[in-house]
Structure 1
Amino acid sequence: MPTYELDISIDQAGLTALTQAGQSVTIVKQSSGGKPTAWISFTPQMNNVITWTEQYSVYSSTTNAQAGATIRTSSVATAIGGSSYTLNNSGFFDKGISGRVGPTQYQIINADPDLMIGTTPMVTAGLLQGASVNGKNVSAPLCAAGVLYNQTALFTPIETIMVFTSSYSDNGIVISQVAGNALTVEYTTNNTAAIAYNDQNNQFIAN
């Protein structure tokens, strides 16, 4: 499983400005399927190192996937690409069945009629991924989709992230849209990327 790294440098002027504004560094990871979340949000330092491995889990939640909501997972299972996972009538995932979908896809089937969001038999589901942020291990959903009872959802993670500053103070917050000045970082040829915060324009730039 490949490991990826993002190095973020912020000079003292930028760090002071972000602290005074109460802003965090937020990372969104691209995935087809579901709404994006603020996968990682953290209080920045002058030198920041974020690493993660291409390993995912599937999750379910009864948190309504509306903008601003922090997803609280109720069931999580380590997942393998190309597999389908059924949320059974006990609210837990059955062992994945491989070969049901493409090798980089993950499928979730909601087979629990008793799980509700409001008055609707459904769950919020998606992919969850861990990371190390300045030496601290975190894990949070990177996407969120509403899945009605007896329906399925399909997710395909992409090794592309978007980095920006925000007022988000928690991981796994559903967002309506990524900030317009977010810097897109693609891990297509390299597993490591370095960016810096430009305190003149208040946005990230590639090093």
Structure 2
Amino acid sequence: MASAYELNINPEDDADWITNQDKKRVAIAKQVNTGVDISTVNPANVAWQVFAPLNENKITWEASYSVYASTTPVAEGAHISQSSVLHTPPPPAEDGVVYEFNGSIFKKSDSKAEKGSYWIKNTSKQLFQFGITQEASSDKSSIKPGYSPLIIVPGGGSEILQFTPHETVYVYLTGHKESATVSVNAWGPVCKVQLSAGTPVTLKFIREESRFEQV
């Protein structure tokens, strides 16, 4: 069974101020190492989860990932359309395995690679964007079910890409309205959180600084 993580984002009475006065949403991004330049000033280039906060928001997920391909450009505010995933709905991908993408579908190859990372080889002759996805759920907030991209990286023909996820998240306010949105511009005040399996983390909101802080 995959390890489980819990993040409680509790702006309390400031939830209404964030949504209706500041006209923002709460964004969660995750650290994924790729070994390539993702061309952003931020430690991640995708807002993994974006939602209108309630007073208390319990977000949970498991260390379970899948792979995807897309033709969405790496441009600020673009919503990532997953043109191809491992399956629908995507099952967990295996780390240490190379998944080949032929331009239409993913296929698990016999090639082995470093464990702890997820690998994609573009066997087509076209340029696509690639990344890994993960699902999160919430007891109350407007997080939608389904696997959502964590990162987006261009990959040309015959290129092999490596994705190594970490349970480090970044929480900040955003003007974007949807999860899986490319976010390459500077985020503004951000709260960096390192999570451990089975240990909940709670954040409070500091309105004067428009940022979250770990309790």
Q: TM-score, normalised by structure 2?
A: 0.85
Q: How does 1:50-199 map to 2 (within 5 A)?
A: 50-77=59-86, 78=91, 79-89=93-103, 91-97=104-110, 100-113=112-125, 121-135=126-140, 136-177=144-185, 179-188=187-196, 191-199=199-207
Do structure 1's residue 24 and structure 2's residue 28 form an aligned pair? no
Q: 1:16 aligns to what SS in structure 2?
A: helix
User: Structure 1 residue runs of 4+, over 3 Å off?
Assistant: 188-191
Q: Which amino acid aligns with 1:7?
A: N
Gaps of 5+ in 2: 39-43
Do structure 1's residue 38 and structure 2's residue 47 form an aligned pair? yes
How far 1:200 moved relative to its partner?
A: 2.6
Structure-1 separation of matches of 2:186 and 2:137:
22
Deviations 1:132-180 (A, max 9, x none): 0335524210000000111111110011000011111011111114524
How far 1:68 moved relative to its partner?
A: 1.9
Q: Which amino acid aligns with 1:163?
A: V
Query: CA-atom RMSD, angstroms?
Result: 1.8
Gaps of 5+ in 1: 114-120
Q: Which amino acid aligns with 1:39?
A: W
Q: TM-score, normalised by structure 1?
A: 0.88
| Aligned sequence identity (%) | 29
Deviations 1:113-133 (A, max 9, x none): 2xxxxxxx2100000110103
Structure-2 separation of matches of 1:66 and 1:54:
27
Q: Residues 193 and 20 from structure 1, CA distance in 2 versus in 1: closer, same or farther, beyond 3 angstroms?
A: same
Q: Which amino acid aligns with 1:17?
A: W
